[in-house]
Chain A
Amino acid sequence: MRNTWIILKREYLERVRSRTFLVLTILAPAIMTALMILPAKLATMGDKPQHFVIVASTQQFGEMVRQQLLSEPMGSEEAEGDSSEASRKPEDQYVIDVDTSSTEVERASLRDKVSNREIDGFLWLTDDAIAGHRVDWDTREMAGSREKSWIGDAVNRILQRQELAKAGLNSAQTQELLTPVKVESVRIERGREAKGSGSGRFLEIVVMVMLIYVAVLLYGISVMRSVLEEKTSRIIEVLLSSASSTELMTGKLLGVGAVGLTQIVVWTVMAGVIALPSLATQASFSELQLSPLVMISFVLYFLFGYLLYSTMYATIGAITTTEQEGQQLQFLIVMPLVLSVFMLMPVLRTPDSAVVVWLSMVPFFAPIVMYARIVVQTPPIWQIALSLVLMVATIAGLVVLCARIYRIGVLIYGKRPTLPEIIKWLKYANA
C-alpha cells in the first residue's frame, strides 16, 4: 500500500508538472469553446447579403414572391433553437430585385452578371415557365436541397394563393388553408416531457468523446512511454527490488488517474469562472440542462474509460521494447474508441435495442456508448452498475496481466516477444 502510494505520488507529480498537462489543461477548453462558438460566429460573420433577381412577367407577381421569400427565410423552420441564422433579419441576408423584361437577351446578361459576381443568382419565373411547371434557378453553384425547397415552397405558395383567390376564397380562408401543420418532437423521460433539444444532447456526447480521445491519446502514450523508459533505462530492476510489479503498475495507473481527475476539476473550475457566462448566451449550450445523473456518469465514465485505455497502453509498453513498436500496436487501443464513435448513431436512434444494450456493457465501448445512452435515455440502473463493474474488473485484470509481463520485461533485450512467448511468460511469472 505504502509503495503504491509513493509511486502514485511520483507519477502524479511528474505528469502534473509536465508541459503536456499545462497544454492540455489550457488548450482543450480553448479548442472546445472555439468548436462551440466558431460555427455560429462563422455563419453570421462576414456574409454580405446575397443578391438575387426574380424575373417575372409582371411586377406584381414578382413582388409577391419576393415578399414570400423574405417572410420565410431559408432554414427558418429548423432553426428554432439554432439562433444564429434566425437572429438576422431577412432583409440583411438577401437583396432581392424584381425584373420584368423576360427576353433571352436579358437572360444572357443576367447569366453574365452571375458569372461576374455582380449578383448571386436569378429565378426565371415568367408565366411561360410557370405554365410549363419548370422554373430555373441560376446560380454559380448547384443549389442545395434546402435552397431549392425554400424557393419552390415560396413560389408554390404564391401560385396556390392566386389559384385559391381565383376560385373565390378570401384571403383569411386562403391563409388558413395554406398554413402547414408543424410536427413538434417531444422527448419523454420517466413519463414526463424532458427538456433539452437533440442538439444539446448531442453536444454532451461530443464533449465526452473529445475529452476521452484527447486524454487517452496524450496520457495513454505517456503511460506507455514511462513503462518503456523504465524498461530501457533498467530502473525497473531497482524498482522491483523495492516494490512488487503489481504495486508499481497500480501506483502508476492510479497516479495517471489522479492526473485525469485533476484535469476535470481544473476544467470545471475554468468553465465556471471563464467560459460559462459567455457560453450561456449560446442557445445550444443553455439547453444542456445537465442532470446530476449525467454529470456523475460523465465523471465516472471519463475516469474509468481513461484508466482502462491507459492500462491498455501500459500493457503495450510492457510488451514492446521501443516506442516505434508501441506506436504500431496503438491501433489496438484506437480501434475500440473509433468503433464506439461509429456506434453513436445507432445508439442515439435506438438506445434500448438489445444490441446497443449489450455493446454498452463491453468495457472498451462503455465510456462512450453507455454514457451516450445515459444522456439520451436513462437506462436501468443495473445496466449502468454492471457496465461500471465490468470496467473496473477489466482494469484490475489488465493491471495484473500487465504487471506480470512488466516483471518479465526485466529480462528482455532486443526483439518484441511473440504472442506464444508472452503467454509463456505469464505462466512463468505465476511461479
Chain B
Amino acid sequence: MSSVQTPVAPVSSSAARLAGNDTVDLVGVRKCYDEFVAVDDLSLNVRPSGIYGLLGPNGAGKTSTIRMLMGITVPDAGRITVFGEPLARAHMDQFGYLPEERGLYKKMKVLEHLVFLGQLKGLSSAEATQRANRWCERFELTAWTGKKVEELSKGMQQKVQFIGAVLHDPRLIIMDEPFTGLDPANAVVLKDVLLEMAKSGKTILLSTHRMDQVERLCQSICLINHGRAVLEGDLNQIKARYGRHNVQIKYDGDARFLQEKRLVESFNDYGNYVEIHLASSADPQELLHLASANARLDKFELMEPSLEEIFIDVVGRSNA
C-alpha cells in the first residue's frame, strides 16, 4: 500500500533465460475475459526452426494464447517478443496463421482467394498467383482452382486455407489444430509439408490436443492447463525425466499378472496389447518373469512414457 509499484510484468523462471535468439518469447502473459482467466502468467520460448507443440486440454487457453500472438487480442499483463522485438503489427507479414475455425469467402474462386490472401501479406499479384498454383499442385487442387470455395469439400477447403497461410513464405507459422478434418492421406501430405518447412529453417507453432501428433512431430512442447504452463521444454528431455516406467506387452493367455499391485500401478488395455505403467520401485524383469509364467508373450517392450501419459499425469496432478 505504501510503496509505489511500477507496472512490471511478473517475473517468472523463463524471464531469466536469454530471449535473444528465440522466435517467440512469452513472459508472464495474462489474459482475462471478464471474470474468467483464460491465460495466467504464461511463459514460453519457441526456438527458431523446428516444430513447437502447444498442448493442452480443451479450454486450456491455447487459442487465447495464439490470438494474443496474432495481435487479435492484447494481453492484460506480460510481454510478448517475436524475433527478438516486442510484438507489433509489422511482424504479422512474417506470420502464417491457420486459425482453429477455418474461414474462407465462400463465393470466391479458389485461386482468386489465395491471391487475395497472398496480396494482403504483401505479395504481388503475379507472385501470389505463381505460388498459389505451385501449392495447389502439391495438394492436388489444380483441378479446383477455378471453382468457388463453396463447391469444395471441407477437407479441400482446409487445404486451401493452409495454402493461404503459408503462401507468403512466413518465418513463423502458427497452426491451430491443422489436422482436424483431413483424411489420413491428406494428413500425411500436410505432415510432410510441415516437416519440410521445419527442416528448411521455419518455425512452426502447432497447437493441438492430439498427443500422438505432437509426439511424432515436435521437438519442444509447452503443456498448458487452466491457462498456465505446466510443462515446457525439449520433448526428449521431458520424456527422459519421466523415465522408462512403461511396458508394452502383447500376450495370449492368463492376464493375472496385471493385477499384481506391487509391480503394476495402472494399465491400459488397447485390445491387441496392454500398456502397463510400472509401480515406482518395480523391477521390469520381475514383471517379465511373472507374465511369462502364466501367459504366452509375443512382445515385451520397455518404453518411454507416451506424451499422453505424461499429459494425463501432469494435468491430473495440476488439477488436484
- Chain A residues, Cβ within 8 Å of B199: none
CB distance B72 to A234 under 8 Å? no
CB distance B107 to A238 under 8 Å? no
CB distance B95 to A238 under 8 Å? no
Q: Give A14 to B113 CA distance when docked, in angstroms.
A: 11
A130 at interface (Cβ–Cβ under 8 A)?
no
Given A241-B71, A242-B92, A244-B89: A233 in contact with B116 (beta carbons within 8 A): no
CB distance A229 to B120 under 8 Å? no
CB distance B108 to A14 under 8 Å? yes
CB distance from A402 to the nearest CB of B (A): 17
CB distance from A254 to the nearest CB of B (A): 16
A276 at interface (Cβ–Cβ under 8 A)?
no
CB distance A242 to B103 under 8 Å? no
Question: Which residue of the partner chain B has the closest CB to A408?
Answer: B73
Q: Give A431 to B93 CA distance when docked, in angstroms.
A: 22
A6 at interface (Cβ–Cβ under 8 A)?
yes
CB distance from A357 to the nearest CB of B (A): 45
B258 at interface (Cβ–Cβ under 8 A)?
no
Given A14-B108, A241-B97, A242-B121: A431 in contact with B70 (beta carbons within 8 A): no
Question: Which residue of the partner chain B has the closest CB to A233?
Answer: B103
Given A6-B116, A6-B119, A242-B92: A235 in contact with B105 (beta carbons within 8 A): yes
B102 at interface (Cβ–Cβ under 8 A)?
yes
CB distance from A10 to the nearest CB of B (A): 5
Interface of A is mostly: helix
Name the contact of B101 in the complex, choosing from A2, A6, A237, A407 (C-beta under 8 A).
A237
Q: Give A6 to B116 CA distance when docked, in angstroms.
A: 7
Q: Give A7 to B121 CA distance when docked, in angstroms.
A: 12
Interface size classification for chain B: 20 to 34
Q: Give A120 to B165 CA distance when docked, in angstroms.
A: 79
Q: Give A235 to B117 CA distance when docked, in angstroms.
A: 11
CB distance from A5 to the nearest CB of B (A): 9
Q: Give A261 to B13 CA distance when docked, in angstroms.
A: 59
Which residues 200-235 of A sit at the B interface, judged by CB distance below 8 A?
229-230, 233-235
Interface size classification for chain A: 20 to 34
CB distance A240 to B70 under 8 Å? yes
- Count A-B pairs with CB separation below 8 Å: 65
CB distance A411 to B89 under 8 Å? no
CB distance A238 to B97 under 8 Å? yes
A239 at interface (Cβ–Cβ under 8 A)?
yes
- Chain A residues, Cβ within 8 Å of B101: 234, 237
CB distance from A35 to the nearest CB of B (A): 33
A236 at interface (Cβ–Cβ under 8 A)?
yes
CB distance from A237 to the nearest CB of B (A): 4
Q: Give A43 to B193 CA distance when docked, in angstroms.
A: 75
B262 at interface (Cβ–Cβ under 8 A)?
no
CB distance A240 to B72 under 8 Å? yes
B33 at interface (Cβ–Cβ under 8 A)?
yes
Q: Give A116 to B33 CA distance when docked, in angstroms.
A: 80
- Chain A residues, Cβ within 8 Å of B165: 238
CB distance A230 to B33 under 8 Å? no
- Chain B residues, Cβ within 8 Å of A243: 120
Q: Give A237 to B97 CA distance when docked, in angstroms.
A: 9
- Chain A residues, Cβ within 8 Å of B33: 411
- Chain B residues, Cβ within 8 Å of A235: 103-105
CB distance A6 to B99 under 8 Å? no
- Chain A residues, Cβ within 8 Å of B104: 233, 235
Which residues 341-372 of A sit at the B interface, judged by CB distance below 8 A?
none
B231 at interface (Cβ–Cβ under 8 A)?
no
CB distance B117 to A237 under 8 Å? no
CB distance A237 to B103 under 8 Å? yes
A44 at interface (Cβ–Cβ under 8 A)?
no
A3 at interface (Cβ–Cβ under 8 A)?
yes
Given A14-B107, A242-B92: A234 in contact with B120 (beta carbons within 8 A): no
16 example contacts (A-B, Cβ-Cβ < 8 A) are as follows A10-B108, A229-B105, A234-B99, A235-B105, A237-B67, A237-B70, A237-B72, A240-B70, A240-B72, A242-B92, A242-B117, A243-B120, A411-B33, A411-B67, A411-B73, A431-B74
Beyond A237-B67, A240-B72: 7 further Cβ-contacts under 8 Å?
A7-B120, A233-B104, A238-B99, A239-B120, A240-B70, A241-B92, A242-B117
Task: List the interface of chain B (C-beta within 8 A of A).
Answer: 33, 67, 70-74, 89, 92-93, 95, 97, 99, 101-108, 116-117, 119-122, 161, 164-165
